Amino acid sequence: MLNSSELVETYRERYDEMWREFGRLEKLAVNRLKEKGCCVHIADGATEAASIVQGIVGAESVVKSHSATVTEININTVLSDIRETEISEYIAQLEGNNAISGFRGDVAAASQILNERYGSLPIKDLSILVRQDIRRIMTNCRCGITGINAIVAETGSLFFFETQGNVRGIANLADVHIAVAGIDKIVETTDDALLVGRFLADQCLHKSVGNYLSFNTGPSQTGDVEGVLVKGMHGPREVHVVLLDNGRRKALRRRLPEVFACMDCRLCLNDCHAFATSKGRYGSPRIGGKGALLAYFATGDSSGMEECSNCGNCARTCPLGISWPDVFERAGQSKKEWISMEHEQSSKRLQQEVMTPGWCTSCGMCVGICPYIKNYKESSAFIHQCQLDEGNCYAVCPRGETAWSQMDQKIFGRSREDHALGNFENLYFARATDKMFAEKGQYAGVTSALLGYAINKGQIDGAIVTDGKPGKLPEPKLARTRGDLLAAAGSKYSAAPTLSLLNQAAKEGFNRLAVVGRPCQVLAVKKMQSLTDKREELPVEKVALTIGLFCFWSLTADFYQFLLQKTNNEEIQSLDIPVDGMVVKTNKGEYKWPIDEIRSFIRPTCEQCFDPTSEFADVSVGATEFDNNWNTLIVRTDRGKELVKNAVSEGVLEVKEYPHDRIPLLRQAVLNKKQRVLKQTSGGDSVPSYLMLNEAYRKGVLEGGN
Question: Residue 384: pLDDT above 80?
Answer: no
φ, ψ dihedrals at 51, nearest 5°: -65, -40
- The pLDDT tens digits for 605-649 are 898 899 999 999 999 999 998 888 999 999 999 999 999 999 999
> Which residue, among 306, 65, 46, 82, has the nearest Cα to 163 in the 3D structure?
65
Q: Can you give the pLDDT at residue 104?
A: 63
Ranges 118-122, 446-450, 688-692, most confident: 446-450
Side chain identity at 266, as an amino acid letter? Answer: R
Q: Which residues contact 629 (CB under 8 A, 6 or more apart)?
A: 431, 443, 444
Rounded mean pLDDT, 375-397:
74
Q: Can you give the pLDDT at residue 35?
A: 93
> Which residue, among 525, 547, 550, 515, has the nearest Cα to 402 in the 3D structure?
525
- The pLDDT tens digits for 584-599 are 888 888 888 888 888 8
Rounded mean pLDDT, 484-510:
89
The DSSP code sequence of 395-427 is HH-TTS-EEHHHHHHHHHSS--S-TTT-S-SEE
Q: Residue 40 in 3-state DSSP?
A: strand
Rounded mean pLDDT, 81-96:
85
Q: Can you give the pLDDT at residue 418?
A: 92
The DSSP code sequence of 295-324 is HHHHH---HHHHH-----HHHHHSTT---H
Q: Can you give the pLDDT at residue 298?
A: 87
Cα separation, 612 vs 607, whole angstroms: 11
Q: Can you give the pLDDT at residue 387?
A: 62
Q: Can you give the pLDDT at residue 340?
A: 36
Cα separation, 520 vs 36, whole angstroms: 66
Between 684 and 252, name the one with better pLDDT.
252
Side chain identity at 323, as an amino acid letter? Answer: S
Q: Can you give the pLDDT at residue 342?
A: 29
Q: Can you give the pLDDT at residue 100?
A: 55
Q: Can you give the pLDDT at residue 345?
A: 55
Question: Residue 125: pLDDT above 70?
Answer: yes
Question: Residue 31: pLDDT above 90?
Answer: yes
Q: Can you give the pLDDT at residue 573?
A: 84
Question: Residue 582: pLDDT above 60?
Answer: yes
Question: Residue 343: pLDDT above 50?
Answer: no
Question: Residue 689: pLDDT above 60?
Answer: no
Mean pLDDT of the chain: 86
Rounded mean pLDDT, 11-38:
89
Q: Can you give the pLDDT at residue 683?
A: 41
